[in-house]
């Protein structure tokens, strides 16, 4: 079977690990796959799939709609081969699904996150998100994929799509790449990902400062890009216990994470984070890290279940409770907790679980349409 993945995301994006992991898994299982997005020609040469580059507008607020329209024109001119299947991101699904149906091509809507931008961009994105999911609800064989049960509940509430039409594909982790290594001599906390203010990242240097003022020998590593980079870079430049790195390749990122002790989850209790499945959470666990963060559904692994290697607190208590928790950690205890964290990842967080679910959904929708 040939699978076409229509996406508005670049594989060079910080958040593209999910797509590349799922796509690589499908290719390993014998599927022929083509990524259709706006990446430059030849930018996918190292990957095991084909690539079709589609032009996109650079005007803010018009990127997704222009990409969707250009993809639709490409579809009309280059009718995809009979017996193919399409995976379509929600940003462009409402534009592409009608054309795919005309060509009798079965499809699945992929929703890794509802609109997360702030301000006017979010207002422009929500109508597209709703229109795309309504395409699922209006079709007897329509199907979509989300990252968590809370995400599925949110979609059903907002669009009236039946839960049976939605598959959960949580973020997984490459257990061979992310694994425990020799730790830094000094207790080290780490955050990696988008460094945007609405993710709560500016609370991390204060946690470091308060911990050190309480006599805890601890350091902080921050990795990524976003609207807080300048501020975090400036703080790191004047604080020998804080290190800043720009976005890193996965191999280098995994190496640094594996040497740390505690992974941080500062994202606040907002809708966009409470229904998410943060990739960093799985990478922390696979690397045998303990975790500390804000208590909400997006950060918990399994409902109300609690783990000794994971401490989640109310946002208002983030600094004070964090200091208390760090003060009570003992080296021998941390070694045991690190083993438990890694063991949980091995049993529950490998990408194979999500690839299994995606493949089963593809085969189900194909059989419904045949």
From residue 340, give the alpha-carbon distance in Å to each of 260, 308, 309, 330, 344: 16, 9, 7, 15, 6
Crossing angle of helices 279-286/331-348, nearest 10°? 120
Query: What pLDDT, on a 0 to 100 scale, did the predictor assign at position 273?
Result: 78
Note the pLDDT tens digit of each residue in 241-259. 999 999 998 899 999 999 9
Whether 14 has a pLDDT exceeding 60, the answer reads: no
Whether 117 has a pLDDT exceeding 60, the answer reads: no
- Of 75-84, 116-125, 208-217, 326-335, the range with the lowest mean pLDDT is 116-125
Query: What pLDDT, on a 0 to 100 scale, did the predictor assign at position 305?
Result: 72
Q: Could you give the CA distance from residue 36 to residue 34 in angstroms, rounded to a whole number?
A: 6
Structure tokens at 274: 């409470």
Give 61's pLDDT tier (boundaries 50, 70, 90): low
Note the pLDDT tens digit of each residue in 304-318. 678 999 999 999 999
Whether 119 has a pLDDT exceeding 90, the answer reads: no
From residue 135, give the alpha-carbon distance in Å to each of 164, 214, 364: 15, 55, 18
Note the pLDDT tens digit of each residue in 265-294. 999 988 777 888 788 999 999 999 999 999
Q: Could you give the CA distance from residue 91 to residue 54 in angstroms, rounded to a whole number?
A: 15
Query: What pLDDT, on a 0 to 100 scale, did the predictor assign at position 352?
Result: 93
Note the pLDDT tens digit of each residue in 127-186. 999 999 999 999 888 999 999 898 999 999 999 899 999 999 988 899 999 999 999 999
Say which residue the tokens 């200091």 belong to. Answer: 323
Q: Could you give the CA distance from residue 13 to residue 21 in angstroms, rounded to a whole number?
A: 13
What are phi and psi for residue 168, nearest 5 degrees?
Answer: -95, 125
Mean pLDDT of the chain: 92
Q: Could you give the CA distance from residue 126 to residue 203 in angstroms, rounded to a whole number?
A: 29
């Amino acid at each position: 079977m040939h699978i076409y993945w229509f996406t508005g995301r670049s594989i060079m994006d910080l958040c593209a690990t999910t797509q590349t992991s799922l796509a690589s898994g499908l290719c390993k299982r014998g599927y022929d796959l083509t990524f259709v997005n706006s990446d430059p020609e030849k930018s996918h040469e190292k990957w095991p799939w084909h690539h079709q580059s589609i032009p996109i507008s650079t005007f803010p607020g018009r990127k997704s709609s222009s990409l969707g329209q250009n993809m639709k024109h490409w579809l009309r001119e280059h009718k995809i081969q009979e017996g193919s299947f399409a995976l379509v991101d929600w940003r462009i699904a409402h534009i592409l699904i009608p054309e795919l149906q005309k060509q009798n091509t079965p499809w699945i809507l992929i929703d890794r996150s509802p609109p997360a931008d702030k301000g006017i961009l979010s207002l422009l994105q929500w109508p597209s998100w709703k229109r795309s999911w309504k395409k699922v609800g209006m079709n007897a064989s329509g199907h979509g994929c989300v990252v968590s049960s809370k995400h599925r509940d949110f979609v059903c509430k907002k669009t009236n799509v039946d839960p049976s039409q939605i598959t959960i594909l949580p973020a997984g982790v490459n257990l061979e790449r992310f694994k425990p290594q020799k730790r830094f001599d000094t207790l080290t906390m780490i955050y990696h990902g988008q460094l945007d203010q609405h993710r709560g990242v500016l609370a991390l240097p204060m946690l470091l400062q308060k911990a050190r003022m309480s006599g805890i020998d601890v350091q902080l590593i921050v990795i990524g890009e976003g609207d807080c980079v300048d501020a975090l870079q400036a703080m790191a430049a004047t604080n020998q216990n804080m290190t800043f790195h720009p976005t890193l390749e996965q191999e280098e990122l995994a190496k640094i994470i594996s040497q740390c002790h505690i992974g941080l989850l500062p994202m606040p209790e907002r809708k966009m984070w409470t229904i998410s499945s943060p990739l960093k959470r799985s990478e922390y666990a696979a690397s045998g890290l303990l975790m500390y963060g804000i208590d909400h559904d997006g950060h918990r692994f399994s409902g109300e279940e609690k783990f000794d290697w994971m401490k989640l607190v109310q946002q208002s208590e983030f600094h004070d409770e964090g200091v208390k928790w760090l003060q009570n950690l003992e080296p021998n205890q941390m070694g045991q907790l690190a083993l438990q964290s890694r063991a949980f990842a091995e049993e529950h967080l490998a990408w194979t679980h999500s690839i299994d679910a995606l493949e089963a959904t593809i085969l189900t929708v194909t059989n419904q349409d045949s």
